[in-house]
Amino acid sequence: MLQIKEVKKAYQVGDFKQVALNGISVSFRKNEFVAIVGQSGSGKTTTLNIIGGLDRYDSGDIIIKGKSTKDFKDPDWDAYRNNSIGFVFQNYNLINHITVLDNVEMGMTLSGLPSKQRRKRAIEVLDRVGLKDHMYKRPNQLSGGQMQRVAIARALSNNPEIIMADEPTGALDSQTSIQIMELIKEIAQDKLVILVTHNIHIAEQYANRIITMSDGNIVKDTNPYVIDSDYKTEYKLTKTSMSFKQALNLSFNNLKTKLGRALITAFAGSIGIIGVGLVLSLSNGLNQEINSLETGTLSDFPLTISESPMYMQMRPGRYPGMDENTEGEFPTGNELVITDSSENSFLHYNKLTDDYVEYVSNIDPTLYNDVSYGTSLSMNLLIEVEEDVVSKVQTNQIGWSELPNNTDFIFDNYDILEGAYPTNKNQLLLVVDSYNTIDIQFLTALGISDSEGTLDFSEFVGMEFRIVPNDDYYVYSDITSLYNITTDLLTAYNSPDAISLSISGIARVKQDANGTILNEGIGYLSELTTDVMTNASTSDIALAQVASDTSVMTGLPLTEAAKRSELRRLGALETPNSIRIYPVDFNTKNEIKTYLDSYNDDMDEGFEIYYLDLAETITDTVGTLIDTITYVLVAFSAISLVVSSIMIGIITYVSVLERTKEIGILRALGARKKDISRVFNAETILIGLTAGAMGVFIAWILTFPINKIIGNLVEEMDAIAKFSSVAMLSLIAISVVLTLFSGLIPSRIAAKKDPVEALRSE
């Protein structure tokens, strides 16, 4: 069964070498009760520790079922203790913060036995030692004899082949000692029991073999046994492993016994989380406020590309003639450069081409809410103000504009107060402001004389207009050879080619809208623009203007730009004269600007196309302010996190010192070094989880007074501090990771502790 061959062991303390075992050799039978006796320092406990795999021999060999242990590594010895050895200690060595049942199950847990089998086996052995009724108690609720019975039950639970008993009655009274020895004697009937004791009377009364040791040597053996040298058997070890769940359970129960300290530690660890949480909540709230503001601002102030002349400030990358070698560089030296501001700007004229329009149309549609094109197309709009009385409508007075194609954005930001949104080119939409007010010039343009009080929505829904074709609207004079607007508006109004229109609905911007993309006034669908332009492009006046460099209506000569403008007005030129891009937010705006800037990379000087961004100053100012505040607060919070992590590392190390004996017990049961690390890593995870949850909760509570204070200062920002669920979960995860990292060194220290020394600690 078990054979020890010439085993030597010595301990080195400084220059002094203490020989504990001096080449002992002994063999043990499969079933026998062996007592090892001797004076203190004789080597009996060292022998027990070496046989049990708690200590390592210097030379010689231990052979288990014919298998040599010379090549055993730490995991092999751990598995050996778990599979083949059951320890019964003088001081019981139970883990006080878990139940009796959990203590008994521990060895089986390490061997990977399923939960139901562990529980069944543990109850059986507790019943065998007479403690079934006490299995849910903690060890410190039992008497000394009962605790020793628990230790015996734990030793038997994994059904080991060898029971190692080290002075099992040393801390018991005589009556209890007899009961324990009778129980051990019963166990020895089908197992090898090796008892270490200094009491020769107990050895003689219960053991069937007594080995006497002195000065590291075996001096007497009452029933020696010699193993046949050819004895061989297949000895397999089942590797041990503590599950992370069990490690969490151990650490959780330990923390419960020190609940006050654990909560104080968690609170200290939460301070940094509170700081970061407040930063994130404020940042999140500010971003939400700014995103709302940005979308609204950018809807009112889009990126505008126009053929209207614009003054460009001379700065790197934004004016012709800039030396590409110095572009974007700051001047050096201590001299002031004298400039003339009137010469540092230039008048630039964008010439929009079909190629550029196509380039803009290829912008990623996820970056903008809408792109609108201005054509300056003159729609010959007429209205019948009285029966057979027709009037021209000045489109600039009624806010005549094309509706954007992004209807989803419109419905998200506008309410239809009356009627319905246009679904075809013959329907119009009346857009009013947030107060339902309408300008008197609008009414005048529609021929409405009642300009006081209020008007019902029904007076506008269904209102009819007509767009008259150019050939019916303009007439040619043989006398002047020029075109003029017809004086017979009624005939033009009744032209069979006129397009009939009517207002189908009234819309108003929502109170919580992200933008005001629609112009106040009357809007129409893009299909109407296409239809009118298709007809107008082949009209007589349009064709005449294409062929002439003078105005066909005034006879005055036209510049190139003026002719393009006139052709657009008459519908002879489809290329727009302005483009407005409404970005989704500031970030997408910058992406769009980068895309637009790249168009100029390959353009010759003077042919670049520039945009106007009225919101750029707001973007830079607000962005810089938020970034600065965020960096400062994050830096402050980061310092708190570092301090908290160091403190948690120290607390974990203190826990290692306090649980040294528990480490020894776990190692005696077969726990690996990595299992010990896992126990303390589990403890730091629990502390980190608690600290994170506590920090997030406290930070969330603090957002209420913060919002109250800020709300008193700025009414619109009474809910500026907002926690997102993602931020909460992220902070808890960060807390767990940081505390786990801070506990790595203490957990490694715990894993490296010598099990024999750990068991001796108190």
Q: Tell me the pLDDT tens digit for each residue of 73-108.
A: 988 898 888 888 999 988 888 988 889 999 998 888
Residue 506 tokens read as 């009234």
- Are the C-beta atoms of 105 and 78 separated by less than 8 Å? no
Q: Are residues 604 and 627 in the same domain?
A: no
Lowest mean pLDDT among 226-230, 298-302, 317-321, 758-762: 317-321
The DSSP secondary structure of 498-534, one letter per residue, reads PEEEEEEEEEEE-TT-S---SPSEEEE-HHHHHHHHH
- What's the confidence (pLDDT) of residue 636? 76
DSSP state at residue 584: S
User: Average pLDDT for residues 144-155, to the nearest whole number?
Assistant: 91
- Assess if residue 200 is contained within a domain: yes
- Are the C-beta atoms of 415 and 433 separated by less than 8 Å? no
Q: How confident is the model at residue 320 (pLDDT cuts 50, 70, 90)?
A: very low
- What's the confidence (pLDDT) of residue 91? 87
DSSP three-state, residue 67: strand
- What's the confidence (pLDDT) of residue 316? 41
Distance in angstroms (rounded) separating the CA atoms of residues 92 and 549 = 112
Strand 85-88 relative to strand 612-613, pairing = unpaired
Q: How confident is the model at residue 318 (pLDDT cuts 50, 70, 90)?
A: very low
Q: Are residues 601 and 687 in the same domain?
A: no
User: Average pLDDT for residues 374-402, to the nearest whole number?
Assistant: 90
Percent of the chain with pLDDT over 90: 34
> Does the pLDDT value for residue 241 go beyond 50?
yes
Q: How confident is the model at residue 319 (pLDDT cuts 50, 70, 90)?
A: very low
Helix residue ranges, H only, 225-337: 244-257, 259-300
DSSP three-state, residue 33: strand
Q: Are residues 345 and 410 in the same domain?
A: no
DSSP state at residue 308: S
Q: Are residues 491 and 407 in the same domain?
A: yes
Q: Are residues 184 and 36 in the same domain?
A: yes
Q: Tens of pLDDT along 284-308?
A: 777 777 666 655 555 556 888 888 7
Q: Are residues 135 and 48 in the same domain?
A: yes
- What's the confidence (pLDDT) of residue 159? 87
- What's the confidence (pLDDT) of residue 618? 67
- Assess if residue 245 is contained within a domain: no
- What's the confidence (pLDDT) of residue 326? 47
Q: Backbone phi, then psi, for 182, in 5-degree steps?
A: -65, -40
Which residue's entry shows tokens 């207002």? Answer: 503
- Are the C-beta atoms of 751 and 676 separated by less than 8 Å? yes
- What's the confidence (pLDDT) of residue 300? 53
- What's the confidence (pLDDT) of residue 635? 77
As to burial, measured by CB atoms within 10 angstroms (0-12 exposed, 13-18 middle, 19+ buried), residue 224 is exposed
Q: Are residues 591 and 516 in the same domain?
A: no
**What mean pLDDT, rounded, does the chain reach?**
85
Q: Are residues 170 and 46 in the same domain?
A: yes
- Assess if residue 575 is contained within a domain: no
Choose the final residue of a domain: 578, 613, 648. Answer: 613
- Assess if residue 88 is contained within a domain: yes
Distance in angstroms (rounded) separating the CA atoms of residues 632 and 448 = 60
What's the number of domains the chain is made of?
4
Helix residue ranges, H only, 714-743: 725-742
> Does the pLDDT value for residue 329 go beyond 90?
no
- Assess if residue 480 is contained within a domain: yes
As to burial, measured by CB atoms within 10 angstroms (0-12 exposed, 13-18 middle, 19+ buried), residue 716 is exposed
Distance in angstroms (rounded) separating the CA atoms of residues 660 and 388 = 106
- Assess if residue 551 is contained within a domain: no
Q: Are residues 49 and 159 in the same domain?
A: yes
List the one residue out of 98, 77, 88, 204 whose CA is nearest residue 150. 88
- What's the confidence (pLDDT) of residue 259? 84
- Are the C-beta atoms of 755 and 667 separated by less than 8 Å? yes
Q: Are residues 141 and 204 in the same domain?
A: yes
| Domain housing 84 | 2-238
Lowest mean pLDDT among 28-37, 302-311, 732-741: 302-311
- What's the confidence (pLDDT) of residue 499? 96
Choose the final residue of a domain: 482, 515, 539. Answer: 539
> Does the pLDDT value for residue 327 go beyond 50?
no
> Does the pLDDT value for residue 452 go beyond 70?
no
- Assess if residue 672 is contained within a domain: yes
User: Average pLDDT for residues 555-582, to the nearest whole number?
Assistant: 89
Q: Are residues 432 and 513 in the same domain?
A: yes
- What's the confidence (pLDDT) of residue 26? 93
pTM of whole model > 0.95?
no
Q: Are residues 209 and 159 in the same domain?
A: yes
- Assess if residue 643 is contained within a domain: yes
